[in-house]
Structure 1
Amino acid sequence: MIGQPRLDMEDLIGVSVTSGHLLGRRVGEVFAFKGVPYAAPPVGALRWRPPQTVGAWEGSRLALEFGPAPVQDLPLRTSLIYRLGHDEPRELAMSEDCLYLNVWTPVASAAARLPVLVWVHGGGNRVGHGGQDLFDGANFAARGIVVVTVNMRLGALGFLAHPDLIREDPLGAAGNYGVQDVLHALQWVRENIAAFGGDCGRVTVAGNSAGAATVTHLMAAPAARGLFHGAIGQSMAGAFRAEGSMMTLRQAAEAGQSATSSLGATLEQLRDLPATAFLGVNQQTVIVDGRLLVEDTTEAFMNGRQSAVPLLAGWNSAEGSLYATSQGLSSLQIAGYPSDIRAQVAELYPNASTAAWHDDRRRLVGDRRFAYPVWGWVRTHTQTSDAPSWLYEFSQPLPLPEGLPPPPDGGGEYGTFHTAELPYVWDNLDARAWRWTSEDRNLAGLMADIWATFVTHGDPNTGGMPVWDAFDAAAENHLMRLRAGPAIGPTIGPAEARQAFDVFDKLFPGDIAVQS
């Protein structure tokens, strides 16, 4: 057809899902199905409603290109977070009609029954999408797993509560629409992944940053029980948060009404606005909404009400370098801590509050905002369930491109910054034309092998992988340090910030440190 790319029919492969027939394409050793709709477009009357079942189509639907990304404002093009995560050769198409997923599989046959990885991207629930180059699933799928990457609603379109939304909802719930999208995608996987060679009884849900927080919330969500059988969280958690307790539905609704009042007085008016009108509205975090979550996620884990699935989680060694500034620590709400805890924090990070840049500020931001929530997640999951956990720290320095601005805290180097692990975990170093070394490539291959092994077996130790003891807060060797060279393996001692973690434990009610 004129204007359409030429299709080599020998490279196409068809599968049938509940909504119709799909045509994917062979890509090297695997088959890729891109832009697969998993829910109805959340537009018009479906804006700020739970995701709905996608309608059926007639004939064969081409699944050769990624679907539109959610509407978003991308990071500054000069920033490191853009250069690593968003510097793509193609122009990014965006739309409110964004609920699409992508599948890579080595064998598109229902008889294969391969383990499945479902990936939730990061980006603060403001930016990102499942079609980012870093998340190309071909290299993972070639290791014998089916890979699914998911788009979700972002910003105020995905995370907003409002009194009128509560009134119109049958459960009297509102908010968390983006996380509900991921839950709906997992339900789609349960119903359809066999057609792509996957086993719906061996699904691991994984994510980094806000995506890892989403994984935590899904573990706490009653509606997600049984939809996944393993979990991976990278550099964030939805429990033990630096922001403190999650907002209640009432608090979120009042905040949402205030945030949108200048745009419209009624839901009808707000739903008539273009999606871009909400780019300037601060979206809420995940809340106790009454539909997806019925209690604070931290409370769910402390009381053992989470899904008891194997967990692999960790952080990077310089998480704070992108977020610490020379202007203070208000984002960590240190001033609101009890006086005894403030004193202990000041003793552990003595220069964190001074005007000049110091490593202490970066360490405090990284430890409290990123590492400690992961530590609390893993430690509490181990204590309150029978499921094993494994904890890592990634500390490989990246060969950064030229022309980057200095870190916001004035430090000379970024270190192993937040999201730095992504090209290694996905074995996708070539997604960025940086000066990767053979050591980088070896480490990327090893990390992707470890992650794929965990997805396959629920344990990262099988298949000749480096010995990695399951987490035990009372033991010395409970942290895997991942870095090129001979240092790959269990550490000699515990996490370096363990003393600080014990202090942060005091911010949360309950006797969560008894078994530490």
Structure 2
Amino acid sequence: MIGARTTAGRLAGEWDEGVAVFRGIPFAEPPVGGLRWRPPRPVARWDGERRAYAFGPAPLQPQPPSDSIMYHTNFADRRALVMSEDCLYLNVWTPDPARAAGLPVMVWIHGGGNRYGHGGQEIHDGRAMAGRGLVVVTLNHRLGALGFLAHPELAAEDDLGASGNYGLQDIVAALTWVRENIAAFGGDPDRVTLAGNSAGAAHICHLMASEAARPLFHAAVGQSASGVGRAEGPLADQAAAQKQGLRWAAGFGDPNIDGLRRLDGSELVLRGHFGPVVDGRILTRPTDEVFDAGRQHRVPLLVGSNSDEGSVYATPDVLRRLPVEPGTDELYPVRDMAEARRTARLFTGESRFTHPVWRWAVAHRETAPTWMYRFTRTPPLPDGLDLAPPRDGLPAYGVHHTAELPYALDTLDCRPWPWTGTDRELARTMADAWARFVGTGDPNGGALPRWSAFTGTEAMVFGDSVRAGTVERLEAMRLLARCPRPL
């Protein structure tokens, strides 16, 4: 057992192969009852010593289909999933809980499209990264309608007239907790890197545009998503977001917020798709505008994406949304059915993931050091896996969305897949680079080839080998940058 004292009370953690682990630490009051759809409030103090041995409940959420590649990669955990609206908990891994240790801190934000995920997923386990000399924090935040509903009645009861982005406010509350408490776990509150993938990466991009979050982190890592250059266009303003919220609320027969607060939260998160908006509290301007003006948080940035980002999401009907007449542009050719399927996957991945990440790097490179990567290693799925085929008709998922996660965080062993020596060496190299970036603001060193800062074309390739390379399909990136939104 190992102890730590926070501003709310004393915690008891445990050792796990040389790393001290504290799980299920409350960082805000439970957002239930009258606190549903309100900014998170500081957690109440407790007496005595609180056990921090088990993860707190995950946020209320549906689950991806059990035969999906996203489920097998991210959610097929050995622990049973426990969910609750009382979900605002975080977890800490530290190699040295001495207050004087002064270790760099990585705060990890999970992905899941604002619908799925939590800080206790095995794929986000922090032990391997903590073993590299970091304090690692994972956290939960509210999801779906509970995390992002905008509504005129919510704005009316808010002192700033804000509504929406409760999930982003949860992340800021967790970062505030880190600022106030991480020294008790051996961390340096002035060396905090905010890192995440997919929706978590987009949240980080939005928080770089937020004045409220800027004192709370000092570098950023974004994997496979962004808050700028989005296929769906800039964030909705309050008027548009509140109209969407009213349409969603009408589906319950009573759009009144008091009535919605009386409904079971599980019913609320199963309907609708929600995400960040310009709420007037965390985000006062669209994130694209902030980055276009060069007014974002000027911190070192490491970003990248995977080779087959579109394989999970592409369907043949996406060809109707191509930014060029099908068959007239070699960037997205459709001369036969096989080529059309490849183009559908390529366009889906580039428009939704690869281009927004590239746009993030392009917008940030003039304000602070920026590095870009491309992940090209196909993970070795086991034979006999219960896996639905890709919807685009191609035979395999390839280097799919989130495929890089167990490599970047060195958590391969969370899945009993036939990992090879190449996989394990790649995970070591990639996680070492991420750890150096968290520690110094620069990923270079160790066995990594020289990784040049991004000026428009440079990218490190993490695949069957690790090598310095360039941005692929740069003309496609430029074409997508010129296209009106939504794509």
Relative to the length of structure 2, the TM-score reads 0.96
**Contact 1:140–1:147 under 8 Å retained in 2:** yes
How do 1:163-242 residues align onto structure 2 when only pairs under 5 Å count? Answer: 163-242=152-231
2:427 corresponds to: 444
Q: Per the alignment, in what secondary structure is the counterpart of residue 212 of structure 2?
A: helix
How do 1:444-483 residues align onto structure 2 when only pairs under 5 Å count? Answer: 444-463=427-446, 465-473=448-456, 478-483=458-463
* Partner Cα separation in structure 1 for residue 326 and residue 394 of structure 2: 25
Detail structure 1 runs of 4+ shifted over 4 Å in the superposition: 341-347, 352-357
Is the aligned partner of 1:489 residue 2:467? yes
Deviation at 1:397, TM superposition (A): 1.0
1:23 corresponds to: 12
In structure 2, list runs of 5 or more residues that go unmatched: none
2:357 corresponds to: 374
1:506 corresponds to: 482
Could you tell me which amino acid in structure 1 is paired with residue 269 of structure 2?
Answer: L
1:389 corresponds to: 370
Deviation at 1:280, TM superposition (A): 2.8
1:300 corresponds to: 290
1:314 corresponds to: 304
* Partner Cα separation in structure 2 for residue 52 and residue 123 of structure 1: 25
Deviation at 1:328, TM superposition (A): 2.9
**Contact 2:102–2:187 under 8 Å retained in 1:** yes
Deviation at 1:463, TM superposition (A): 4.5
Deviation by residue 1:427-482 (Cα, 9 ceiling, x = unmatched): 11110000000110111111110000000000001355321000011xx5x11110
Q: Per the alignment, in what secondary structure is the counterpart of residue 85 of structure 1?
A: helix
Deviation at 1:283, TM superposition (A): 3.3
Is the aligned partner of 1:417 residue 2:395? no
Deviation at 1:40, TM superposition (A): 0.6
Deviation at 1:54, TM superposition (A): 0.6
**Contact 2:429–2:447 under 8 Å retained in 1:** no
Could you tell me which amino acid in structure 1 is paired with residue 163 of structure 2?
Answer: A
Let me know the Cα RMSD of the aligned residues.
1.7
**Contact 1:209–1:236 under 8 Å retained in 2:** yes
Instruction: Find 1:89's aligned residue among 78, 81, 97.
Output: 78
Deviation at 1:246, TM superposition (A): 1.2
* Partner Cα separation in structure 1 for residue 294 and residue 335 of structure 2: 35
Q: Per the alignment, in what secondary structure is the counterpart of residue 169 of structure 2?
A: helix
* Partner Cα separation in structure 1 for residue 44 and residue 407 of structure 2: 37
Corresponding pairs, count: 482
Q: 1:81 to 1:353 in 2, by over 3 A?
A: farther
Could you tell me which amino acid in structure 2 is paired with residue 480 of structure 1?
Answer: M
Instruction: Find 1:159's aligned residue among 141, 148, 151.
Output: 148
Q: 1:505 to 1:63 in 2, by over 3 A?
A: same
* Partner Cα separation in structure 2 for residue 126 and residue 353 of structure 1: 36
**Contact 2:333–2:340 under 8 Å retained in 1:** no
**Contact 2:315–2:392 under 8 Å retained in 1:** yes
**Contact 2:319–2:326 under 8 Å retained in 1:** no
Q: Per the alignment, in what secondary structure is the counterpart of residue 10 of structure 2?
A: strand
Instruction: Find 1:113's aligned residue among 102, 113, 124.
Output: 102
Deviation by residue 1:80-127 (Cα, 9 ceiling, x = unmatched): 110110001121000000000000000011100000000000000100
Q: 1:354 to 1:288 in 2, by over 3 A?
A: farther
Deviation at 1:279, TM superposition (A): 2.6
Deviation by residue 1:31-64 (Cα, 9 ceiling, x = unmatched): 0000000011000111011111111111100000
Deviation at 1:508, TM superposition (A): 6.5
Relative to the length of structure 1, the TM-score reads 0.91
Instruction: Find 1:283's aligned residue among 252, 273, 295.
Output: 273
Could you tell me which amino acid in structure 2 is paired with residue 398 of structure 1?
Answer: P
Is the aligned partner of 1:327 residue 2:317? yes
Deviation at 1:346, TM superposition (A): 4.4
- Matched residues, percent identical? 50
Instruction: Find 2:379's aligned residue among 387, 398, 413.
Output: 398
* Partner Cα separation in structure 2 for residue 272 and residue 351 of structure 1: 52
* Partner Cα separation in structure 1 for residue 318 and residue 460 of structure 2: 32
How do 1:115-134 residues align onto structure 2 when only pairs under 5 Å count? Answer: 115-134=104-123
* Partner Cα separation in structure 1 for residue 10 and residue 362 of structure 2: 44
Q: Per the alignment, in what secondary structure is the counterpart of residue 149 of structure 1?
A: strand
In structure 1, list runs of 5 or more residues that go unmatched: 1-11, 510-516
